[in-house]
Structure 1
């Protein structure tokens, strides 16, 4: 590029930077005002709507600020965007987390306006890789070497881990920004301080404790501090990560979905308000003729059904729902003033699972619905998920692949199917035992869950073989993703007694092409996996279309 052309480009970039800076001032004002208004919202739905708006604004800012040289602003916006997403995903969002988030947003705006955030020249500004999309973990560990090793291993799983060698530093950090979980290495007096810290919060943080002994007194102290898991040295970090992942999945699970069918719209509205206030997603239906459309669109996990309606009985509607195999797992709870036990039994024998007798208090309604829908979700998960990994079973991941391939053919957007397999896994079982082998399988499942998107599907296809379905993702991008997963997995250290070992994986990838079926894509991915094994293992290969 000659000097004249370079000057022209710099001039144009400068003009764009100035235009962005003018727009940025307005965006920061709007961001600050909306953050200020967020805690004032009384209804949870309104708060969620406002948080979603802030999430979208931070998303846009994270994607544009770095391009125009506002590097730190972009990076911090990305972090705040992820915090907003975690709050939105939580079944019961924390008020403390909300307050901390609002404070962080307003501090970021103030820092940018004060000019205290670092910038880079726009000509060379590149969008930085975002912080790992996983959860933020605070680790209290006096042994710096052990702490750094733990940070590295958990980092491979996608967590952002901050190490604190002293309890006072941890306390200060928690006051500034809440983590998603705490891991504490047990030392004299520290658990008492951690327990006091937990009691000072609106809601205690998920806590895992690493002790030096397995005796009763040590574990009692951990439980009193609020521990959800207890581990001893030598520490199996992959087992600790599995416990951490299970705890955080409970924290961030999707809200329960409840459908209320009642011709009394005012009563249905009240029930809906009560359940929404308990962090559930609720749809109401007063016209039963729309039943099937609403069931398919909303996909409820539970149906609350009025027994007596002008043109239909609740029993008839329940029987109609039960005619469809896809809804056999959905519990149906009758809402009725009927107290005759014989009539209730007759209704339950035809269809339905339980009765809630009108009138019912708000608290009793919320408790009854919550217990039923929680059990229903657990049962559904148990039926469709592999017990060892929590991933979809063979038949279910094949069904998900078929759904995504059909969607890709309609939208014209690519979907990638990935088949992967652990290398030399029989040797792992033979040399270290099946318990160690199960730990390896579980760790790979957790790693994939951490590194992939919420819209991606993962299943255990067989023994040590897995399938992943990535919508709106071309094969070359899927390869980059699974090469990273492969490298992170190979860096993990597994324990079998006093022995340690590592395991690698191989993968094959296929991409939707023309009218190829899901079974064809699975076959191609399997061919890619075979090629990866044949070429030396520990690699990812893209299968060539026929």
Structure 2
């Protein structure tokens, strides 16, 4: 099923396989809940969200029968929503039976009990039979990988040192004596980066054509950094110029910058509307333009939905049961995690008496009846602007990793999802031992190099599905999804070994890292974080002793 996938995709397939059973069980239980409660809006859209979440992975990783059943289930429910009716139980039963049969064959029934409340519940205990073997080892990313090939044209015999340094971070260096020698390799597999000597003036056009025709990202190296050489670099199609001898640290910084993940996930919009016809209209319209959208019809669902869904814009009706939109917006402004989310109010009055507040809060008003074009353009613009500014705010400047604020929000959302889906995770916190001493001995630049080295390792040597953040001057945190405490400890030891190996040329004695691990057992995000920090402090005390 996964033979044709890349290394990173295989890890995503493994994670999807691990989560598929619990998510299918949750989906069926929500369908049953819908029939029991006559399909209220929140249950309808929780079902829709679950189907969407599973369907994309099922189609991507070859679970054809599940994808077909979920697609039919989704089409039936959507048709009922469009007709403003409830789905017929007989129409749903066929698709539910296919999913149930799959779960029975995998020996992962009975179904869990689903609470109808909106509060998080403890993660259910899983048995050995419920967890299928992973097609890839959990630690596969901790061994050198050829997923990131770098091609370099050079005859320098000292290149082995550079190759060794890059390999620690998952980059594989391929060396060629001449540019022509690399052409066959480039045709077979395009590198992440091409590193070449700065060409002479007569060869600039030829090299530029070579780079353009092969769609390469390229940098050049030269013995001097002058304006003339910089212009040659630009004219030859290069993105940057490095000085010789090549410094592995500077090259790593550049590689990490161009490889920094771009958040191209669909923009997320939340519709707060008590009218079923209006809510369904907005939902279909936003999804049609590629947004990930949810709809709630009761104000009391707003805070929990925001914590789980993390919307980037909220479309809110002014008149809601028990309150108005401005009052509800004021409640959102009381919480740090929802304080800055842009809100677009939908008002039936052309000149609403509170529209002047929009100049202060930055919120927007749209008049009913809603123009589809204006709605889409306004929602897309506000969501995209929010994401752009948030990405700047929640990233650590030195390592380009998420910062403490982003980490705590992700930890809270992960804890909530784990309670909902029955899939746990481990929290691993690292501390760079004696960073202040390194700062005294090597200066701020030396301390920065140590911090960036650990940031590189954690980014490249954890799974692409895990979450890595720099949470303090000398501390990092990793959320390892579907990971036991024993596996997390093995990962920590492997990272520690690679960290010491990566710094052995820079520091005479590279100190060990300290780490602490806590696994989710039903507590809050804050309690889990405190537990990991206690374990971390215990490790620090052992190192001091």
After TM superposition, the structure 1 = structure 2 runs for residues 65-464 of structure 1, keeping only pairs within 5 Å, are 132=144, 135-143=147-155, 145-179=157-191, 181-188=192-199, 192-193=205-206, 195-200=208-213, 206-224=217-235, 227-251=238-262, 254-259=265-270, 263=278, 265-266=280-281, 269-274=284-289, 276=290, 281-283=291-293, 285=295, 287=297, 291-292=302-303, 294-304=305-315, 318-319=329-330, 321-333=332-344, 346-349=356-359, 351-354=361-364, 372-394=382-404, 397=407, 415-422=426-433, 424-464=434-474
- State the distance in 2 between where 1:313 and 1:409 align: 31
Structure 1 residues 236 and 162: CA distance shift in structure 2, 3 A:
same
Q: Given the two structures, how large is their TM-score scaled by the length of structure 1?
A: 0.59
* Residue 211 of structure 1: how far off its partner (Å): 3.8
Q: Counterparts of 1:52 and 1:256 in 2: how far apart (Å)?
A: 22
| Counterpart-to-counterpart distance in 2, 1:521 and 1:154 | 31
Aligned to 1:530: 541
May I ask how many residue pairs the two structures share in their alignment? 411
Per the alignment, do residues 199 and 374 of structure 1 end up closer, same or farther by CA in structure 2, a change over 3 Å counting? farther
Q: Which runs of 5+ in 2 are unaligned?
A: 5-51, 65-135
Q: CA deviation at 1:327?
A: 1.1
**Which residue of 2 is the match for residue 53 of structure 1?**
59
Q: Measure how far apart 1:529 and its partner are.
A: 3.1
Question: Greater relative contact order (Cα 8 A, min sep 6): structure 1 or 2?
Answer: 2
What SS does the corresponding residue of 1:283 show, helix, strand or coil?
Answer: strand
Structure 1: unaligned runs, 5 residues or longer: 1-23, 30-45, 59-125, 535-546
Partner Cα distance (2:354, 2:181) in 1: 60
Deviations 1:290-317 (A, max 9, x none): 6556434421122355779999976566
Distance 2:146 2:266 in 1: 20
Q: Is the 8 A contact 1:144 1:165 kept in 2?
A: no
Q: Which piece of structure 1 moves more, 151-160 or 163-172?
A: 163-172
Q: Deviations over 1:83-115 (max 9, x none)?
A: xxxxxxxxxxxxxxxxxxxxxxxxxxxxxxxxx
What is the CA–CA distance in structure 2 between the aligned matches of 1:338 and 1:168, rounded to whole Å? 69
RMSD: 4.9
The answer to whether structure 1 residue 505 and structure 2 residue 515 are counterparts is no
When the two structures are superposed, what TM-score results if normalisation uses the length of structure 2? Answer: 0.59
Q: How far did residue 455 of structure 1 move?
A: 4.8
Look up the match of 1:475: 485
Q: 1:336 to 1:365 in 2, by over 3 A?
A: farther
Contact in 2 for aligned 1:272/1:284 (Cα 8 Å)? no
